[in-house]
């Protein structure tokens, strides 16, 4: 029996500010079944309130309390493990604003950094890469990534995500991140499970990515459903070691999940 559902956002429910085909029918089905729901995005640049507004533009009534982002996970992790640290951020202003609002110290001076936080950065350039390499030359500086998404579905088409920036920095620094947050990390699972308040065995995860959404659910013992409305094609699915319990064309096909039919 299912009592809760975790839904990815981009590529699953919306692309940009537009609802994806089948999204309305799928969300209506979940509401009819009375499932507790949580929308979980690996986007680290927007607060939950911005997602509430974005869902509204797409025609969906979703409260900020129903939304968890990679920024939510990141601020919680940094508060727990790096309280009082000075964070040098390779990322966008939206992430810096979220961190500052949460009381996380952000520094623009590489020499002050005790943590380097890497994320999606549309202004990422050679000079930024050089600076990150110099910061991480000090082994005492922690290296944290907000999320692993290499490619993200945007309104204008797929674009490089945080994972691309993190990998570039790791390559020149000669060291892997100490941790990469967001889905499918353990800190993300712990936060989401606590927020949803449902036994993982009674929870369904729906998303368009095997390495984040489906891996997240599988690691927690949840039922998993992949939708084809995002970044995963048949070739990627066939080559992956991560196997979803269900593969659906869109959210409209959620009635194919046995516990929902």
The one catalytic residue in 10, 149, 211, 253 is 10
- Return the closest-CA partner of residue 209 out of 243, 225, 232: 232
| Token pair in block for residue 159 | 């674009």
Rounded to a whole number of angstroms, the CA Rg of the chain reads 18
Mark 131-158 as b/e (b = at least 16 C-beta within 10 Å).
bbbebbeeeebbbbbbbbbbebbeeeee
Residue 83 CB burial class (10 angstroms; 0-12, 13-18, ≥19): exposed
Distance, CA of 257 to CA of 255 (rounded, Å): 5
Strand 115-118 and strand 36-41: pairing?
Answer: unpaired
Identify whether 241 is a catalytic site residue: no
Exactly one of 8, 121, 147, 211 is catalytic; which is it? 8
93 in catalytic set? no
- Alpha-carbon distance 58 to 15, whole Å? 9
133: helix, strand or coil:
helix
Say how far apart CA 86 and CA 116 lie, in whole Å.
Answer: 9
* Residues annotated catalytic, as ranges: 8, 10
């Amino acid at each position: 029996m299912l009592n809760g559902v975790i839904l990815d956002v981009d590529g699953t429910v919306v692309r940009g500010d537009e609802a994806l085909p089948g999204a309305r029918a799928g969300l209506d089905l979940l509401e009819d079944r009375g499932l507790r729901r949580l929308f979980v995005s690996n986007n680290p640049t927007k607060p939950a309130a911005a997602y509430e507004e974005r869902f509204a533009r797409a025609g969906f009534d979703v409260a900020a309390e129903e939304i968890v982002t990679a920024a939510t996970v990141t601020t919680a992790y940094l508060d727990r493990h790096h309280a009082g640290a000075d964070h040098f951020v390779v990322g966008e202003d939206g992430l810096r604003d979220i961190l500052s609002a949460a009381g996380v110290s952000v520094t623009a001076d590489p020499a002050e950094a005790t943590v380097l936080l890497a994320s999606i950065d549309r202004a990422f350039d050679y000079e930024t890469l050089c600076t990150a390499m110099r910061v991480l030359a000090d082994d005492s500086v922690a290296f944290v990534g907000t999320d692993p998404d290499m490619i993200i579905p945007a309104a204008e088409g797929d674009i490089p995500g945080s994972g691309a920036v993190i990998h570039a920095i790791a390559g020149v620094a000669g060291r892997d991140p100490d941790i990469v947050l967001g889905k499918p990390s353990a800190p993300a699972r712990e936060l989401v499970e606590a927020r949803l308040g449902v036994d993982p065995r009674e929870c369904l995860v729906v998303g368009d990515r095997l390495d984040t959404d489906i891996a997240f659910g599988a690691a927690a013992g949840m039922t998993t459903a992949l939708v084809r409305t995002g970044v995963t094609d048949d070739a990627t699915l066939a080559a992956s070691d991560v196997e979803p319990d269900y593969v659906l064309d869109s959210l409209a096909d959620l009635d194919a999940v046995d516990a929902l039919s």
